[in-house]
Amino acid sequence: MTLHEAPTPTIELLAATVAAVTGSWSLVGSGDGMAVDGAAVDAMRYSLSASEFGGIVVIGEGEKDEAPMLFNGELLGQGNSIEWDVAVDPIDGTKLAAAGTKGAVSVIAATERGTMLDCHEVYYMKKLVSSGVARGVLDIDASATSNVLALAKALDVPVSDVRVAVINKPNNFELIQEIQAAGAQWVRFEEGDIAMAVAAATEGSGVDLLLGIGGAPEGVLTAVAIRVLGGYMQGILAPQTPDEIERALQAGYALDKKFELEDLVGGERHIFVLTGVTDGILVDGVREEDGELTIQSMVLDSALDGARLVEVKVDA
């Protein structure tokens, strides 16, 4: 895709993630995750503040670990009206970026104003993500074994060919064991569940299903992409401590509610941009040569047909 093919809001969101990656690139591999994240936040904020885009941050990232963040309720852009709900994660996979290892990305998403679930008081979400073939076949309330067997049947492949991504965290260890006992392949990853979840709904990615507890803000970001891809997603808020449970209840969240994809993100217009910092499952990481950075992004826009890969070159 060339930039002139994309609607203006999409170009401005793409520019924001490219700015975040460019602004933090010199710190990637430094071992200082806070510095990487802070530089990305500052660069993304500056890019959006100078744009004609008019939006409000509904999902910010960083609060749960006191990292730098674009805060919830922050107004973005110089637009005369606030037309967009915005979800941001200037660096998803901060530890990966700090170490210079695979899987770090910068992500932003936007939907029509008032259509994005605001769940910033809850940090974690139990998620199920797959392609459209899973619709009417899988259910987050079913066991992992049942879902794996049902997906294998729907895909017409042996269970041993089903690849299930689950983030490698203690609260998912029993789930991982069940998936392996069912005969499916566990796709292991340590951080970055936005890219892995989007991969689960992307044909040919090597991931068929994402299960388990990951970030709630990341879940809403993911849902925007899944809407454009025509995939399938369900989520249940999953606070992990008594304090989180109390905050969630005080905020009025229904902790037993099964969120369908349209509950997470409504409306008709959806824009999602994921830009590589280091090499990942969906995009390449930054390439630096002769004082120039080549930056690759995956762009999903309901006003365009299909996913687009975009490469932008900027001065290092």
Residues 222-274: tens digit of each pLDDT: 999 999 999 999 999 999 889 888 888 888 888 889 999 999 999 999 999 99
Give the structural domain span for 182: 124-264
Q: Does 289 lie in the same domain as 250?
A: no
Q: Does 36 lie in the same domain as 142?
A: no
Residue 6 clears pLDDT 70, i.e. is over it: no
178's CB contacts (< 8 A; 6+ apart) are 143, 144, 145
Residue 297 — very low, low, confident or very high, per pLDDT cuts 50/70/90?
Answer: very high
Q: Does 45 lie in the same domain as 8?
A: yes
Give a yes or no: residue 56 inside a domain: yes
Residue 65 — very low, low, confident or very high, per pLDDT cuts 50/70/90?
Answer: very low
Query: Please, what is the average pLDDT of the chain?
Result: 92
Residue 119 clears pLDDT 90, i.e. is over it: no
Q: Does 255 lie in the same domain as 128?
A: yes
Q: Does 256 lie in the same domain as 128?
A: yes
3-state secondary structure of 266: coil
Residue 67 — very low, low, confident or very high, per pLDDT cuts 50/70/90?
Answer: very low
Specify whether the backbone of 13 is left (phi greater than 0), alpha (psi in -120 to 50) or beta: alpha
Q: Does 128 lie in the same domain as 257?
A: yes
Q: Give the pLDDT of residue 251.
A: 83
Give a yes or no: residue 118 inside a domain: no
Q: Does 134 lie in the same domain as 100?
A: no
Q: Is 221 exposed, middle or buried (0-12, 13-18, 19+ CB in 10 A)?
A: buried
% pLDDT > 70, the chain: 95
Q: Give the pLDDT of residue 5.
A: 61
Residue 199 clears pLDDT 70, i.e. is over it: yes
Give a yes or no: residue 303 inside a domain: yes
Q: Does 254 lie in the same domain as 149?
A: yes
Residue in 79, 126, 115 with CA at minimum distance from that of residue 233: 126
Task: Please count the structural domains in the chain.
Answer: 2
Average pLDDT over residues 4-29: 91
Q: Does 76 lie in the same domain as 23?
A: yes
Per-residue pLDDT of 70-87, as tens digits, reads: 777 888 888 778 899 999
Q: Residue 249: which CATH number?
A: 3.40.190.90
Q: Give the pLDDT of residue 4.
A: 56
| Distance, C-alpha 155 to centroid of its chain | 25
- Positive or negative CA dihedral for 248, 245, 88, 140? negative
Give a yes or no: residue 234 inside a domain: yes
Q: Give the pLDDT of residue 305.
A: 84
Q: Does 78 lie in the same domain as 57?
A: yes
Q: Report, in this order, helix, strand and coil percent for the chain, each rounded to 5.
A: 35, 25, 35
In whole angstroms, what is the distance from residue 276 CA to residue 290 CA? 19
210's CB contacts (< 8 A; 6+ apart) are 127, 128, 129, 130, 164, 165, 166, 193, 196, 197, 199, 200
Give a yes or no: residue 135 inside a domain: yes
Give a yes or no: residue 117 inside a domain: no
Tell me the CA distances in angstroms from 14 to 29, 225, 278, one per residue in order.
23, 14, 17
Q: Residue 301: which CATH number?
A: 3.30.540.10
207's CB contacts (< 8 A; 6+ apart) are 163, 164, 165, 187, 196, 199, 200, 281
